[in-house]
Amino acid sequence: MSRRGLLDAIVVGAGAAGGAMALALARAGLDVAIIEAKPPRSWQPEGEMDLRVVALAPDARALLAGLGVWPSIARRVGPYRHMRVWDAVAPGELHFDAAERGEAALGWIVENMLIQHALFEALAANGVGPGRIDVHCPARIAELDNGEDAVRVELEDGTRLTARLLVAADGADSAVRQRLGIEVDGREYGQRGVVAHVATARPHQGTAWQRFLPGGPLAFLPLGDGRCSVVWSLPDAEAARVLALDDAAFRAELGAALDFRLGEVTAATPRAAFPLRLRLAERYLHGRCVLAGDAAHVVHPLAGQGMNLGLRDVTCLRGVLAAARARGSDIGARHVLRRYERERRSEATLAARAFDLIERGFAPPFVPLAAVRGAALAAAGAIAPIRHLLADVAAGRPPGRLAGR
């Protein structure tokens, strides 16, 4: 069924970034339509936890709280107050403590599917603000006209939508980005992230544990039920070997890989794996269309910060559009959307390149490089300003900005 009149925004994709974007823009008073190709996966509070988890930063949590969905998410989160980072082939260790910064937590480990579930429930209820949300799901775009005065979309079922702007938040393989002819830069890491949830002999202590191994980083992230979520970045062939191990061998190898910091791994869920890659869109703006979330940037998961970048896109675009609307400007005008592109592309590129540099620096097992890495970790841990800066990065904050420095 067609929606009459001119919408303020069309959002394509109802994942975390797209769902939060639609809700945030509606809360700012905009009329929004959201288009999602696939019905949401079922989520039940008594079900097994999703293997894909994210580390939400304080500003991401604040955004979700402001949208009214945090209470639904908070039923099953793992806050972490500490983070310990060390190298397998060199001395030196970093310890981050939330208390040192006067905060309750550095971040929260949350199931990706739970975030999407909470957001989609809010979308189905037509949002939380004065604006209205029309949900089109399942639905796909058949035609897209990125006109000078408006964006016009025709869905495969014949529904036609017209809006002042369109936000493409339809994932790393964004069909909208491809329609717009926006190229991406990046590389394949030749790695896969092996994921599982595990129980350990000793409690996780509300700590995110990360060890850099010759093949890639290993993270044990605290879950709310006392277990840990494991994310182990491994070369493709090694990942295939680890996936093929029987349960006892996998648990033994995993415990040794973490240097038995939490004792033996006593139980593990079935494993899964996903390819690791770096993808950065060459631009975030084309006409009246902008990119957000994974459609704009995909980063290495070593810090678990991909979703924080996407939710930061939401906060930025909401602010840019609200300011333009208050001035009486056309919210889809190029000069308005360029402000969003400049800010978000700059931060996302900096973060992606920083994570990429860390991955390159820790991956090779050369002894001279290992010595430098160990010394760098020891020095960073001993110098408070550097440690605070790294804590910002580790917790997914824009360095210094949220702390008011």
Among the listed residues 287, 38, 59, 293, the one whose alpha carbon sits nearest the alpha carbon of residue 182: 287
Give percent above pLDDT 70 in the chain. Answer: 85
User: Is residue 94 domain-resident?
Assistant: no
What Å distances lie between residue 367 and 206, 311, 374, 375, CA to CA? 33, 39, 10, 12
135, 24 contact by CB (below 8 A): no
Q: What is the pLDDT of residues 16-31, one digit of tens each?
A: 999 999 999 999 999 9
**What pLDDT score does 22 carry?**
97
| Both structure tokens of 220 | 């044990």
d(CA 24, CA 247): 43
What Å distances lie between residue 212 and 90, 370, 373, 390, CA to CA? 10, 10, 10, 16
Q: Residues 369-397, buried b or exposed e (16+ Cβ, 10 A)?
A: ebeebbebbeebbeeeeebbbbbbbbbbb
| pLDDT bucket at 215, cuts 50 / 70 / 90 | confident
Give percent above pLDDT 90 in the chain. Answer: 69
**DSSP states of 106-138:** SEEEEEHHHHHHHHHHHHHTT-SSSS-EEEE-S
d(CA 229, CA 220): 6
User: Is residue 95 domain-resident?
Assistant: no
pTM of the model: 0.90
309, 299 contact by CB (below 8 A): yes
Q: What is the pLDDT of residues 38-70, one digit of tens each?
A: 988 888 888 889 999 999 999 999 999 999 999
User: Is residue 234 domain-resident?
Assistant: no
**What pLDDT score does 400 carry?**
46
Q: What is the pLDDT of residues 221-258, one digit of tens each?
A: 999 999 999 999 999 999 999 999 999 999 999 999 99
What Å distances lie between residue 57 and 80, 146, 390, CA to CA? 11, 34, 14
| pLDDT bucket at 328, cuts 50 / 70 / 90 | very high
Query: Based on the structure, what is the number of domains in the chain?
Result: 1
d(CA 246, CA 221): 22
Containing domain of residue 120, as a range? 7-60+113-185+277-359
Q: Which residues contact 249 (CB under 8 A, 6 or more apart)?
A: none
**What pLDDT score does 374 carry?**
53
**What pLDDT score does 386 carry?**
42
User: Is residue 299 domain-resident?
Assistant: yes
User: Is residue 332 domain-resident?
Assistant: yes
Q: What is the pLDDT of residues 332-381, one digit of tens each?
A: 999 999 999 999 999 888 887 777 766 665 555 544 445 555 555 554 44
For the residues 311-322, what does the mean pLDDT come to? 97
User: Is residue 335 domain-resident?
Assistant: yes
| Both structure tokens of 245 | 């191990």
For the residues 169-186, what does the mean pLDDT come to? 97
d(CA 261, CA 279): 34
| CATH classification at residue 325 | 3.50.50.60
For the residues 384-398, what does the mean pLDDT come to? 52
Question: Which of 138-152, 181-195, 364-378 comes out lowest in average pLDDT?
Answer: 364-378
What Å distances lie between residue 141 and 5, 33, 103, CA to CA? 19, 13, 44
User: Is residue 66 domain-resident?
Assistant: no
d(CA 165, CA 375): 50
212, 279 contact by CB (below 8 A): no
User: What is the widest separation between alpha-carbon atoms in the chain?
Assistant: 66
d(CA 162, CA 145): 9
Length of the chain: 405
Mean pLDDT over all residues of the chain? Answer: 87
d(CA 169, CA 358): 27
| Amino acid found at 120 | F
d(CA 10, CA 36): 11
**What pLDDT score does 130 carry?**
57
**What pLDDT score does 391 carry?**
56
User: Is residue 198 domain-resident?
Assistant: no
Please state the separation of Cα 1 from the chain's center in Å: 33
Question: Which helix or strand (DSSP H or E) is residue 248 part of?
Answer: helix 247-257
Among the listed residues 104, 113, 77, the one whose alpha carbon sits nearest the alpha carbon of residue 225: 77
Q: Which residues pair with 232 in a beta bridge?
A: 194, 218
What Å distances lie between residue 202 and 94, 160, 260, 261, 349, CA to CA? 21, 57, 9, 8, 38
Q: With 0-12 CB in 10 A as exposed, 13-18 as middle and 19+ as buried, what is 290?
A: buried
